[in-house]
Amino acid sequence: MDVFFRPRGCAVVGASREPRKPGHQVLRNMQAVGYPGNLYPVNPRETAIAGLGCYPSLTALPEPVDLVVLCVPAAAVPGVLEDLAARRRERGDVGGLITTPGGYAETGTEEGRARQADLERFCRDLGILHLGPNCIGVIDNRNRVDTTFLLGTAHQPGGVSFLSQSGALGAWLLQSWSSRPRPVGFNRFVSLGNMVGVDLVEALAYLGEDPATTAIGMYLEGYPDARRLLTTAAGVAARKPVVVLKVGVSDAGRTAAASHTGALAGSDELYDAAFRQCGVLRARTMEELMDTLHACDTLPEPPGNRVFLMTHAGGPGVYATDALASLPELEFAQVLPSTRDRLRAILPPFSSVCRPEGHLDMTASGTVEQHAAALETLLADPGVDAVVLLDLPTLFLSAEELAAGLLEAYRRSLAASGRPKPFLPCLMAGKWVVEGRRLLEEGGIPTFETPDRAGRALANLVRYRALREAARRAAALGSGAGAPAAAGRRVLTELEAYPRLEAWGIAVARWRAARDAAEAARAAQEIGFPVALKLVSPDLPHKSDAGAVALDLDGPEEVARAWERAEAAVRAHHPELDLRGGLVQEMVRGREMIVGGVRDPQFGPVVMVGMGGVLTEHFRDVSFRLAPVDHRQAGEMIGELEALPVLQGARGRPPADLDALAEVVVAVSRYLSTAPGLVELDLNPVMVGERGRGCRAVDALMVVSG
């Protein structure tokens, strides 16, 4: 991909004198960024554009050209491609092509799809690396390349690189960063468009190996092989932060599944879980994306999660305290007694020091010097990992003077300790603090408009410390086959599923098959009362809803009567149902959990654990991971459940055997990843006993291919 970022020569086909046309703005942007190579406008109707000699065709260009940018309508592209093919035959140079116009497969028309297929075939046959179509190109601030037609981009070098499946959203980010008091620096930007040629995974892997890229941002709408994308992201996130804004969070368009697991595994739930598993930071808003990327590039990694809030404004300080307290990744710092004494000595007499812990309100009488001294004192305390500042300008507290004082104090702190800690200043009041913010950012300290945004950026820096280790583990997940078509699936009855589970080492509550009521009564006597009775049919994935289950039966006669009632109820509603007998099973007590898995079309094998029973889909207290998982990861999944306190023994109840539950999760994940033909598996409920008592499945729904 170096051809896009270090081209010796670049031709802009469709160059124009008209400032409102992309072919004009691309030339202007290449000139504005200081592109060092040969830049050639191509337009048969012009002789000069933007001070550059204009050429009628690609074959007429005199010097080597590595990159061609197409700024002509889609209907005119085939003629340009003929010219490009002739150039390749004669000179053998053009290695990269960026196609900016739309009108391809994104239109959803046969004409657009055919046009895109022709473009893909052309680039493949000639060995040309292609970006687009329907994209805005690339920017490289270090190598001074800007093939976009964006207005007002500040070409400030930095460490962030950004990938976007949307040109407009990429423009939003870059132009927002360019509008800050000091433009935010970035390294590279790639607009992917329809991904004919260069796709998301290839670009992500390339930027992951780029030494000048310190953090990678991504706008993601979707990817056909989500598992490949995420395992690639894990490999990158083990070395540098990857921050993703994922949109399209609805379940629309997903194929209905027979199991609870399939019904619960909406694509966004899977993306969310896989992001955590693969060490990827997920931003929920555009502001969080921009702030987190900027923080990753400019702030030091926090040594821990203990934050101290300092301010001179009462009400905003309370608001900021709530904002920081709402972030589970952070906790308020508790400083040394000597730090408290020092703060009381240097601050105005009515200052509120550590009431509550981790909070300082020096009141409106705090001077620049007192702000600076307090910051140095807090950064020197070993119990403080980061400081958030919240301030308003006043007639007697200039934003510029405050910024200069804080910047010097931070530098003195760094020189004294040699161990940088994050400092996140929020200078409120819009245009009144622009110069103050500019001074801080020119000094290398990012500023924030609100404490909410500062807190979320800091929380993500803290999260990345933990996610980096997760990324190292997840990088070895590998590929996984997706689900076969629905027509190639078969639902197994419990009579078929239980032997498989037992062969895999998954404990199942004792059971016996029965062909009629009399056999069921004899089987119940063998097992011992009380028992459960279930009628079996591949057409009844959820037997309770059909009246095919009876529980707590306490004698042979009761079992026989229950069989007759269940069969009558089922036949009344499903006269043609394929009943295949039934089974009798021991009644097992414990906490009802669900353990399941699916082979998702995009994610491959996925495992789930959650609160079980008939209301599983209503409560949706579940956790997902890409399979397979180990015991530690299974424990992390259980730890994410809202019901964890109940499982741990809330209100005096004995704790559940969570280790045994984790082993079931591991087993299901392993066999979903390796067992031939296994498509879905639903163990609901798994009855989890008290600690040391293990757990047993008492119901199973298994779907296989074939």
Q: Looking at the DSSP assignment, which residues form a beta bridge with residue 145?
A: 140
Q: How far is CA 387 from CA 374, 425, 646, in A?
A: 11, 8, 36
Rounded Cα distance between 430 and 364, Å, is 19
Q: Are residues 26 and 96 in the same domain?
A: yes
**Which amino acid does the sequence have at 487?**
A
Predicted local distance difference test score (pLDDT) of residue 257: 35
- Given a cut of 80, whether residue 140 has pLDDT beyond it is yes
Predicted local distance difference test score (pLDDT) of residue 262: 45
Band (pLDDT 50/70/90 cuts) for residue 545 is confident
What's the mean pLDDT in 480-497?
74
Give the CATH number of the domain where residue 46 resides.
Answer: 3.40.50.720
Helices 451-474, 226-237: crossing angle, 10 deg rounding: 100
Are the CB atoms for 180 and 298 separated by under 8 Å?
no
What's the mean pLDDT in 152-176?
95
DSSP 367-405: -HHHHHHHHHHHHHSTT-SEEEEEE--BTTB-HHHHHHH
Q: Are residues 549 and 601 in the same domain?
A: no
Q: Are residues 628 and 675 in the same domain?
A: yes
Least confident of 88-97, 564-573, 592-601: 564-573
Q: Are residues 28 and 145 in the same domain?
A: yes
The set of residues, in sequence order, having a beta carbon less than 8 Å from that of 42 and lying 6+ positions away, is: 11, 12, 13, 14, 15, 54, 55, 56, 57, 58, 61
Predicted local distance difference test score (pLDDT) of residue 482: 58
Band (pLDDT 50/70/90 cuts) for residue 176 is very high
- Residue 557, judged by CB atoms within 10 A of its CB (0-12, 13-18, 19+), counts as exposed
Q: Are residues 122 and 17 in the same domain?
A: yes
Q: Are residues 676 and 647 in the same domain?
A: yes
pLDDT tens per residue, range 576-592: 788 888 999 999 999 99
Of 270 and 87, the structure prediction assigns the larger pLDDT to: 87
- Given a cut of 80, whether residue 612 has pLDDT beyond it is yes
Task: Report the predicted TM-score, pTM, of the whole model to 2 decimal places.
Answer: 0.91
Q: Is residue 94 part of a domain?
A: yes
Of 375 and 476, the structure prediction assigns the larger pLDDT to: 375
Q: What is the DSSP letter of 584?
A: E
The set of residues, in sequence order, having a beta carbon less than 8 Å from that of 511 and lying 6+ positions away, is: 494, 498, 527, 583, 584, 585, 586
- Given a cut of 60, whether residue 82 has pLDDT beyond it is yes
**Which amino acid does the sequence have at 598?**
V
Give the CATH number of the domain where residue 679 resides.
Answer: 3.30.470.20
Half-sphere CA count of 58, side-chain side, radius 13 A: 31
Predicted local distance difference test score (pLDDT) of residue 201: 97
Q: Are residues 575 and 613 in the same domain?
A: no
Band (pLDDT 50/70/90 cuts) for residue 437 is very high
Band (pLDDT 50/70/90 cuts) for residue 249 is low
Dihedral (Cα; 702, 637, 252, 275), 10-degree rounding: -130
What 3-state class would DSSP assign to 203?
helix
Q: Looking at the DSSP assignment, which residues form a beta bridge with residue 244?
A: 218, 282
How many C-beta atoms surround the C-beta of residue 250 within 10 A?
9
- The total of structural domains in the chain comes to 4
Identify the top-confidence range among 150-154, 187-191, 699-703.
Answer: 187-191
Band (pLDDT 50/70/90 cuts) for residue 392 is confident
Rounded Cα distance between 113 and 108, Å, is 7
How much of the chain, in percent, has pLDDT values that exceed 70? 95
Reference 683, options 279, 331, 283, 259; nearest CA is: 259
- Given a cut of 80, whether residue 121 has pLDDT beyond it is yes
Q: Domain limits at 399?
A: 300-445
Mean pLDDT value across the chain: 92
Least confident of 140-149, 193-202, 247-256, 556-565: 247-256
Q: Which of 445, 474, 500 is the last residue of a domain?
A: 445
Q: Are residues 530 and 599 in the same domain?
A: no
- Given a cut of 50, whether residue 281 has pLDDT beyond it is yes
Q: How far is CA 19 from CA 22, 31, 153, 280, in A?
A: 8, 14, 16, 40
- Residue 349, judged by CB atoms within 10 A of its CB (0-12, 13-18, 19+), counts as exposed
Least confident of 99-113, 219-233, 264-278: 264-278
What 3-state class would DSSP assign to 93?
coil
Q: How far is CA 610 from CA 264, 334, 560, 600, in A?
A: 10, 36, 34, 18
**Which amino acid does the sequence have at 477?**
L
Q: Is residue 558 part of a domain?
A: yes
Q: Which of 104, 132, 149 is the last residue of a domain?
A: 149
Q: List, in sequence order, the alpha helices (H) in 161-266.
A: 167-178, 200-208, 226-237, 260-264
pLDDT tens per residue, range 393-432: 787 888 999 999 999 999 999 998 888 999 999 998 888 8
> Both tokens of residue 258?
């027979």
Q: Which of 541, 561, 586 is the last residue of a domain?
A: 586
pLDDT tens per residue, range 445-481: 999 999 999 999 999 999 999 899 999 988 777 666 5
The set of residues, in sequence order, having a beta carbon less than 8 Å from that of 519 and lying 6+ positions away, is: none
- Residue 387, judged by CB atoms within 10 A of its CB (0-12, 13-18, 19+), counts as buried
Q: List, in sequence order, the alpha helices (H) in 238-360.
A: 260-264, 267-277, 286-298, 314-325, 337-346
Sheet holding 96-99, edge to edge: 38-42, 9-13, 67-70, 96-99, 129-131
pLDDT tens per residue, range 514-535: 999 999 999 999 999 999 999 9
Predicted local distance difference test score (pLDDT) of residue 577: 81
